[in-house]
Amino acid sequence: MQFSEIPGLFELKKQLISAHKRGKVAHAQLFSGRPGTAVLPMALAYASYLMCENKNDEDSCGTCPNCARIRKLIHPDIHLHFPKISAAENKYEKVLAEAIPRFREFVAESPFGDLEAWVRKYGQENKNLLISREDSRQMLKNVSMRSVEGGYKVLLIWMPELMNPSSANAILKILEEPPEKTLYLLVSYNYDSLLATITSRTQLVNVPPNSFEEIRNYLIEKGVDQSKAEHAAKLSEGKVGLAQYIASEGESQAYEDFQQWMLECWKKDLTGLVRRSEDFSKSGKAMQKGSLNFAIELIRNAVVHASGQTPPTQSAAETSFVGKFSEKLGFEKLEKTYALINEALIHLERNSNPRITHLNLSLDIIRVLNG
Ligand SMILES: [Zn+2]
């Protein structure tokens, strides 16, 4: 990962590079930001920069042996720690050996991905993932080993918020007094839930969300067409990961999902709606909000259509759907549905239970559609 592969955030990149140039690289740094933003890519680009054999004033070279191995996460001096299923001491090596290749693939495929994306890749949807006591023993082991190649030794800890307190406490001492040239890069999406003993021992690197323009341009560079890129960037709340999802298969998936959902409400298919609310609750906060925002966007377009204007729709399929949907419901029902979804979104933002919120929303929509 190079800095140039991360859209925008120039100020932060400059700061990180400048700390290196001034010889002020803090030994324990906490990269913090919201899920779906560039937190992990930034930490990886930073590690590549520090270890690159051929860096310039702005970036790592991307091709030297260190850059190449960091890209694949196979550098012997980069030790990975991330949430996984817990295992008894005698099973730990096996769990680790199975999880690491998966994690490498996950980072290669979706460096902006969040915990849900990792859970799906890992194939452990029904388990609680954590950074366990055994992981912290492994960290202590990593720290006691010499750097294989004589340069930096990096412990990358992805999602320290999922460390249980005893494993967090086990690493406090090494966070405080690391051996020379040992770096801890912690990558967190939930700063507020971290133990104060961790935050007080690390230097905070705040990774902000990207701007609308940065995300739109990034998607266009990746080959997404302009109108789709704008649409995804608008819904993404500054999260590249979410924007990529919306712009890719997520878009047509979300679209089909919405039609199916409305059909279930129309037919009062309670079994389907209960299942839907369960799937919804498992999909993760960003996706939940993303799918409701998507629904709001569609209904807004349908309202515009119902009032006799032309909505700013994206594709022929959407224009046709919005047209039909709008004619079927009419202005008043559309407005009521719109208000209900908006309200559900506000509840979600206040941390209501996603399953109950979604089911209640469906029941309310049934009333509107069949009223
Ligand atoms: Zn390099």
- Per the structure, the complete domain to which residue 12 belongs is given by 3-206
Residue 38 Cα to ligand 1 midpoint, Å, equals 20
Burial of 43 (0-12, 13-18, 19+ CB in 10 A): buried
Q: How many domains would you assign to the chain?
A: 2
Strands of 203-206's sheet in order across: 78-81, 153-158, 182-188, 28-32, 203-206
The last residue of one of the domains, among 145, 176, 206, is 206
- Domain holding 35: CATH number? 3.40.50.300
From the CA of 55, how far away is ligand 1's center (Å)? 6
Question: 271 and 162, same structural domain?
Answer: no
Cα of 64 from ligand 1 centre, angstroms: 4
CA of 68 to the centre of ligand 1 (A): 7
* Residue 113 token pair: 């991905």
What's the CA-to-centroid distance between 105 and ligand 1, angstroms? 21
User: What's the 288 CA to ligand 1 centre distance in angstroms?
Assistant: 39
In this prediction the pTM is 0.74
Inter-residue contact 305 to 311 (CB < 8 Å): yes
pLDDT beneath 50, residues of the chain: none
In this structure, are 162 and 280 located in the same domain? Answer: no
Measure 56 CA to ligand 1 centroid, in angstroms.
9
Per the CB < 8 A criterion, the answer to whether 85 and 127 are in contact is yes
List the CATH number of the domain containing 332. 1.20.272
Question: Domain end: 154, 173, 206, which one?
Answer: 206
Distance (angstroms) between ligand 1 centre and the Cα of 135 equals 29
Are residue 170 and residue 309 in the same domain, yes or no?
no
In a domain, 53, yes or no: yes
- Phi and psi based region of residue 187 (left: phi greater than 0; alpha: psi -120 to 50; beta: remaining): beta
- Residue at 222 is within a domain: no
* CA 256 to centroid of ligand 1, rounded, Å: 44
Would you state the structure tokens that stand for residue 147, as one six-digit string? 């750097």
Within its chain, how far is the Cα of 355 from the centroid?
Answer: 21
Residue 241 Cα to ligand 1 midpoint, Å, equals: 25
Query: How close is the Cα of 35 to the center of ligand 1, in Å?
Result: 28
| The pLDDT value given to residue 312 | 63
Q: Is residue 217, in this structure, part of any structural domain at all?
A: no
- The CA 52 to ligand 1 mean position distance, Å, reads 4
Residue 294 has a pLDDT of 82
**Ligand 1 centroid to 1 CA: how many Å?**
10
| Pairing mode of beta strands 203-206, 28-32 | parallel
Look-up: residue for tokens 């590249």? 240
Spatial CB neighbours of 66, under 8 Å, sequence gap ≥ 6 = 48, 51, 52, 53, 75, 151
What is the spatial distance between Cα 303 and Cα 296, in angstroms, rounded to a whole number?
A: 10
**Which one of 206, 228, 258 terminates a domain?**
206
pLDDT tens profile 48-75? 999 999 999 999 999 999 999 999 999 9
Tokens of 27: 């030994």
Angle at 189 between CA 184 and CA 191, to 5 degrees: 75
Tokens of 311: 């909505």
pLDDT at position 313 is 52
Give pLDDT tens digits for 221-259: 999 988 889 888 988 889 998 888 888 765 667 778 888
